[in-house]
Amino acid sequence: MANASSQTIDLNVVREMMSHITYADHQEAQELILFALQEINEHFGWVSLEAAEIVAEHLGTTVNRVYALLTFYADFRTAPRGDNFMLVCHGMSCYVAGSMRLVQSLKDRHGVTDGETTADGSLTIQVVDGCLGVCDRAPLVKLNQDFHGQLTVDSLNQLLEQVSAVRTAGGFR
């Protein structure tokens, strides 16, 4: 994924995606709003206001209705993700094992909290209040596709320094 500051959504692609979504009546169109948003979110990693406007126009509804659904569900993003994406488990086992310290460290040291991206676009954080299913390694994070467990504030910072070093060297993820 490109740096968050340079990511845009190709609205022609959105229009093409919408052209494949057909409906018989207004009720069915309303039921397809979430599907349309999911398709865009999955394809681009986020949904812009302009893309939401295209969804509204195609499905014959208001932008306010589409944007209300878009911002209600936590799975949708209304801004691009950073180059790396981190889920911080905040389930019961991780919470008891210290995930709150990890969340606080991310805020204090890296300036990001839940749903935010670092200023340089290198990392987006999402705190998951549910369980990531690796309780025996609590507290843990999922960075991109890899789980990292039994973390301390120091080991989390070391992990992020490694990611930063790879990025600085021109690598990706």
- The CATH number linked to 25 is 1.10.10
Report d(CA 74, CA 111) in Å as an integer.
21
Specify the pLDDT at position 170: 59
Q: Which residues of 138-172 are buried (b: 16+ CB within 10 A; e: fewer)?
A: bbbbbbeeeebbebeeeebbebbeebbeebeeeee
| Predicted structure pTM score | 0.68
Q: Work out whether strand 141-143 and strand 146-148 pair parallel, antiparallel, or are unpaired.
A: antiparallel
Domain assignment present for 51:
yes
Structural domain includes residue 106: yes
CA 67 to each of CA 37, 52, 55, 76, 145: distance values in angstroms, whole numbers, following the listed order? 10, 7, 10, 10, 29
* Total structural domains within the chain: 2
Domain annotation covers residue 78: no
93 and 30 in a common domain? no
Q: Mind listing the pLDDT tens digit of every residue in the chain (173 residues)?
A: 333 334 789 999 999 999 999 999 999 999 999 999 999 999 998 999 999 999 999 999 999 999 999 988 877 889 888 999 999 999 999 999 999 999 999 999 999 999 899 988 899 999 998 889 999 999 999 999 999 999 999 999 999 999 887 766 655 44
> Which of 74, 65, 66 lies closest to 14, judged by CA?
66
Select from 38, 72, 106 the last residue of a domain.
72
Task: Give the Cα separation of 164 and 162 in Å (integer).
Answer: 5
Supply 75's token pair.
């799975």
In a shared domain, residues 68 and 111: no
* CATH code of the domain covering residue 105: 3.40.30.10
Q: Quick one: 24 and 55 in the same domain? A: yes
Report the pLDDT value the prediction gives residue 4, as an integer from 0 to 100: 39
| Same domain as 111, residue 41 | no
Q: Classify residue 173: in a domain, yes or no.
A: no
At residue 73, the pLDDT reads 84
In terms of residue numbers, what domain contains 101? 84-168
